[in-house]
Amino acid sequence: MKKQLINYATMIRISKGISHSRDPEEVVLITVEGIKTALDAKGCALFLVNRKTHELEMAASYGLSDRYINKGPLSALQSIAQSLEDGPVAIFDVSDDPRIQYPEEAKEEGIASILSLPIIIRGKLAGALRVYTSEPWEFTLDDVNFVQALAQIAGMAIEMSRLYQGQKEAIDILKSMRDAKALRSKKRTPFEGVPVSVPLSEATKKPS
């Protein structure tokens, strides 16, 4: 019960933090840090799929070393690909599982188990959320449901943040165009402001 209460409290805190943020980078940072802390795991990372290269590009991580993060390109077709197609996948022993792309690097990092879940946005695969533990961990259904719920919340928040940023950029462009138009309309000719009753020849005379 205590663990469930912690998870609910974490979900509320993360959801609140996400709802107040319109920056995609901040959204993913809030998510990975919250999950790592709530589950007392070694680390957590969120990846986004690059559809051109078919690679999983890390958007944010918490608790993982730079050496492990920069170990090499992560293929969406080789690195726990099943979790991107069929849903959550829990790997109990990373040192003895063919679905791990970098088993030696994971061992050096001190990773024992991994939970991987897909991030779906508008019905399409957008990325993956992964939890790493330093001890062999049999993830429970509650663990999976908790992480999966936050993965979906993060996915929706990322999409909303992107839409907001796109809308803001469009508004800024329109505003700059409007300001430029207004500036052009306010440009004064050398004879603007001269009373109509004053002949132009008088207006252009130099003062004696």
CA dihedral (193, 197, 200, 203) in degrees, to 10, reads -60
- Around Cβ 61, how many Cβ atoms within 10 Å? 22
Which residues on neighbouring strands pair with residue 48, listed in sequence order? 57, 127
What's residue 30's pLDDT? 83
List domains and CATH numbers for the chain. Answer: 2-164 (3.30.450.40)
Q: Which two tokens stand for residue 84?
A: 């991107």
What's residue 69's pLDDT? 92
User: Using CA atoms, how far apart are residues 16 and 12, in angstroms rounded to an integer?
Assistant: 6
Residue that is written with structure tokens 């992964």 in the block: 130
What's residue 3's pLDDT? 55
Candidates 37, 50, 41; CA nearest to 84 is 50
User: Using CA atoms, how far apart are residues 42 and 109, in angstroms rounded to an integer?
Assistant: 10
Helical residues (DSSP H) of 48-187, grouped into ranges: 66-69, 81-85, 103-109, 141-186
Q: What is the mean pLDDT of each run of 10 residues along the chain (208 residues)?
A: 58 72 75 88 92 88 94 86 85 91 94 93 86 93 88 78 54 55 52 48 49
What's residue 161's pLDDT? 62
What's residue 108's pLDDT? 95
Q: What is the CA radius of gyration of the chain?
A: 28
Strands (E), 16-107: 43-50, 55-62, 74-75, 89-91
Question: Would you say 131 and 147 are in contact if contact means Cβ atoms under 8 Å apart?
Answer: yes
Alpha carbon 201 to its chain's center: 66
What's residue 2's pLDDT? 44
Q: Which two tokens stand for residue 62?
A: 């918490």
Structure letter (DSSP) for residue 141: H
Q: Which two tokens stand for residue 186?
A: 């306010």
Candidates 112, 16, 110; CA nearest to 65 is 110
User: Using CA atoms, how far apart are residues 80 and 162, in angstroms rounded to an integer?
Assistant: 27
Looking at this protein, which amino acid is placed at residue 173?
Answer: I
Burial of 134 (0-12, 13-18, 19+ CB in 10 A): middle
